[in-house]
Amino acid sequence: MDDQILTIKNKKQEEFLRKPTEAVLDLNDRKITELIEGMKEILIKRQGAGLAANQIGENKRIFIAQFEGKIYAFINPQIVKVSKKNVVLEEGCLSVPGIVGLVSRSQKITVQAFNELGKPIKIKAKDILARICQHEIDHLSGVLFIDKATKLFRVSTNEKTAD
C-alpha cells in the first residue's frame, strides 16, 4: 500500500479531505481488513496518533487510533456521548504539515463502532484517546482541526517535498 498522506498543500487532495466519507456497508469485505492493516503500517511508519481512511485517499468511514501501545480500529464510528467538560490542547495532523493549533474538545466521549472483525464495540475514551477519536471522526466528516482551532502556529518540518 502506498503510504502517501493527502495534504491541504494540494487543492485536489484538500477537496477530497473536506468531503464526508461513506459508511462501510459490508463489514465482512476482505478489502476492509486489508485497508485497516495498510493503515496500521502507515500510522506506525509516520509515527502518528491516528489516521482516517480519507487521509490515504479511501472514501470509507474508518479510522485507526494508536494509544498506549495499542492500535484500535473503528468502522462507521459515532460519538454517542460527550462530557460537559472541554479541554484545550495543541493538535497537529499528518494532512496539515507544518501547522499546529489549539483546539477545544470534550474530555470524555463514548464511541460506538465496529472493529476490524466486524464486531460492534463501544469505547469510553478520556483525555488523549478521546481527543484522537474526535480528531479522526472530524476527518471522516470532512472537518480538519484547523477549522476548529482558536490559534494556529507554524512549526518546522523535516518533510521532503516531491515536486
What pLDDT shows up at residue 158?
60
Under CATH, what is the fold of the domain 11-154?
Peptide Deformylase (3.90.45)
The pTM score is: 0.93
Domain boundaries, the chain: 11-154
DSSP, res 55: G
Q: Which amino acid, 74?
A: F
pLDDT at 157: 62
Block mean pLDDT (10 aa), the chain, length 163: 88 98 96 97 95 98 96 98 98 96 98 96 97 98 98 78 38
* Short-list 159, 34, 143, 4, CA closest to 97: 159
Q: Give me the active site residues, please.
A: 136
**Whole-number pLDDT of residue 1:** 62
What is the C-alpha to C-alpha distance for residues 122 and 144, in angstroms, rounded to an integer?
24
Contact predicate 62/133, CB 8 Å: no
